[in-house]
Homo-oligomer: A and B are copies of this chain.
Amino acid sequence: MFNEERHFEQPIRWAMVGGGRGSQIGYSHRNAAQRDGLFKLVAGAFDLDPQRCRDFGVNLGMDAERCYASYAEMFEAEAKREDGIQAVSIATPNSTHYEICKAALEANLHVVCEKPITFTTEEAEELKAIAASKNRVIGVMYGYSGFPMVQQAREMVQRGDLGEVRVINMQFAHGFHNEEYEKNDPGLKWRVSPEVSGPTYVLGDIGTHAFYLCEVMTGLEVDRLSCMRQSFIKSRTPLEDNAHVMMEFKGGAVGTLWASAVNAGSMHQQKIRIVGSKASIEWWDEHPNQLRYEIQGEPPRILDRGMGYLYQDAEGVAANRVGGGHAEGYFESWANLYHRFALAFDAADRDDQETLEGIWFPGIDAGIEGVRLCEKCVESADQNAAWVEYK
């Protein structure tokens, strides 16, 4: 059963960069971070417009003086306060992630950042090095990895329930951008602009989510890949609104990834299927409380969250907030991740490496691999979908 009781004497003092009025992702961060009382929002640089930032923050109940015109100003001012922020979440357009993360780490803050954490693996590695030198923790917001059934899947693979992993098929393929909606949608506009979005659109924006599920569940490393990417809406070139990837993993498994924003008529269609020598599992983020488990020669089983037949270790911290049958969703997955981030930040602050290592969460390495996936897919696609080595 979920333990809602106090974990820390005081919640972690926390700020946001970006995620102001009208931002769905901003609400998701605030909701998740504060869900279990482990973080308290005390400062923010929510908006490039200082007045809008202040209005928004005040309306959230914050002090006007802690609503800042820029992240730089915030980091500087907060550093001077006794009650200054200890952690910051970054929910700005992609092109700014690197510089804000860097500044935050240098300001001795723990960081939660939206993916992609940077445009290049070099930049991401640099952030990792800074974090290490500062003893700070970076969490990367792979928001679907906090579902208890994702953890159950991870346990099942690790314990050998599937046998040897042979095939992994991943997809995150929605249809919401099957026409040139960016004409009237600023949030989409920047996502299809390379200078803001980075080297990819759907590969980075959604494909990395499904790819991260594969990492979490199997731990396998890609050996080489081939990627074909297209813009069915021509104006999005050079960024892609659809991509297919074939992968060979080290050790012999193979896989595919389909990332698309033009899968007309679909909602998310984020799914992962892992085929092992003995059994397969399949998970779908739109019905996240179920995990399909198919043992060869036996009837398929539908595992349900919260049931006694699951691996109890899979719950880990912060999982299973309510009994089986009740639907948990996206917000619980996010909250579970922020719960883990909080424990990790706290462990780092206490220099408790053992605890820190025992907490599973999507950290800087997950961020680096997401950036690498995009880099390598672009490298392949730019060579007419030639196969490229992964590392």
> A residues bordering B, Cβ < 8 Å?
1-2, 4-6, 21-22, 24, 27-28, 30-31, 35, 37, 56, 59-61, 162-163, 166-167, 169, 174-176, 178-179, 226, 228, 230, 232, 242, 244, 246, 248, 252, 254, 256, 258, 260, 262-268, 275-280, 285-289, 293-304, 307-309, 321-332, 384-387
Contacts and interface: CB of A to CB of B under 8 A. Distances in A.
Residue from A5, A163, A327 with most neighbouring chain B CB atoms (10 Å): A327
A185 to B, nearest CB: 12
Given A178-B277, A330-B327, A331-B322, A167 B262 contact: yes
Given A166-B242, A265-B295, 16 more contacts: A1-B24, A2-B27, A4-B27, A27-B321, A28-B322, A175-B280, A176-B296, A246-B246, A262-B277, A263-B275, A263-B280, A265-B296, A298-B309, A326-B329, A329-B332, A385-B387
Given A246-B228, A256-B244, A296-B175, A326 B330 contact: yes
Contact of A254 (B6, B244, B254): B244
B169 A267 contact: no
- How many copies of the polypeptide does the oligomer hold? 4
A162 B4 CA distance: 39
A38 to B, nearest CB: 11
B254 A226 contact: no
Contact of A304 (B258, B267, B329, B330): B267
Contact of A37 (B4, B61, B285, B385): B61
Contacts of A326: 268, 285, 329-330
A30 B321 CA distance: 12
A256 B254 contact: no
Nearest to A307: B299
